[in-house]
Amino acid sequence: MYLLIKPLGSVVFKWGGYNSILLGGAINSGYFEPLPMPSTIYGLLKYAYIVTKLGNEAPKFKGPLLYAKSKKKQAICVHAYPLGLKCNIEGEEKDIKVEEEDFERRIGIAINRETKMTKEGYIYMEKMLDLYKLSKRILNENGETFKEEPEKYGILIETDDENAKKLDGLVAPFGGESRPAKISVEEISFKKIGKKLLASPAIIDNGDDNHVEWGNQKASISAKKIIYRLISLGFEFDKRLEIRLSLMPTVEVSKDSIGYFTDKGWGSVVEI
């Protein structure tokens, strides 16, 4: 079963950032990607399960993927870090680079959560992804005269939990700034290109250009460029969780999952 998470407007997927003091005050910026981190999906699902009284924890899931569908075409894309996507468009493999034109730049003023007052001299910059615009560009990648308009698009995850069907139609906060997004249950079939790919960062102990290791397990990997980085596992009760070494998507693998915390979406492997 698939869940499609459709942001009701532009959305922020921030993968890191920095603060710096300028002459005019402090400024906050960051690194933005076309797909959310697994911790963002986990947080959304946990919230959804709690408010619908389905439980206190999120279900196990795989993903996330970017999904777009028009009347004639369908595209399923895996994150290719940084700022890239590897897409299956009607059975054809396409590498898509996310461009500046796919984002909207916003400048805002920081708010103190306790006093609800603005923080003097503190501003932030966000790059908000227009998923509709990006989905339309992906569906028209071959440059046909007729422009395919997305009828369905959003962030796609896969789960085996039957309770997730009860989330159909739910609107919940999602991504940076907790923007609203609508969840729908989807039955999706597509012509596969036959590749098993890492779809989300895999939390590991160590790795090189050919293998990764975690605990007493090991997996072979293959890609033109292998990227590792230190990544935070997210937040819990407003506290940042530990920072761990991760293998970044996407690479070809033979296993069904890689690394630690796969029940929370890390190290998801999908076949497209």
Q: pLDDT band for 21, please (50, 70, 90 cuts).
A: very low
How sure is the predictor about 104, in pLDDT bands with cuts at 50, 70 and 90? confident
- Mean pLDDT across the stretch 117-132? 77
What is the tally of structural domains in the chain? 1
pTM: 0.88
In three state form, how does the secondary structure of the chain look? CEEEEEECCCEECEEEEEEEEECCEEEEEEEECCCCCHHHHHHHHHHHHHHCCCCCCCCCCEEEEEEEECCCCEEEEEECCCCEEEEEECCEEEEEECCHHHEEEEEEEEECCCCCCEEEEEEEEEEEECHHHHHHHHHCCCCCCCCCCCCEEEEEEECCCHHHHHHCCCEEEECECCEEEEEEEECCCCCCCCCEEECCCEECCEECCCEEEECCEEEEEECCCCCEEEEECCEECCEECCEEEEECCCCEECCCECCECHHHCCCEEEEC
Range of the domain at 10: 2-271
User: What are the pLDDT digits (tens) for 40-59?
Assistant: 999 999 999 999 999 999 99
User: Which pLDDT value is given to residue 126?
Assistant: 72
Q: What are the tens digits of pLDDT across the range 213-260?
A: 999 999 999 999 999 999 988 766 566 678 999 999 999 998 999 999
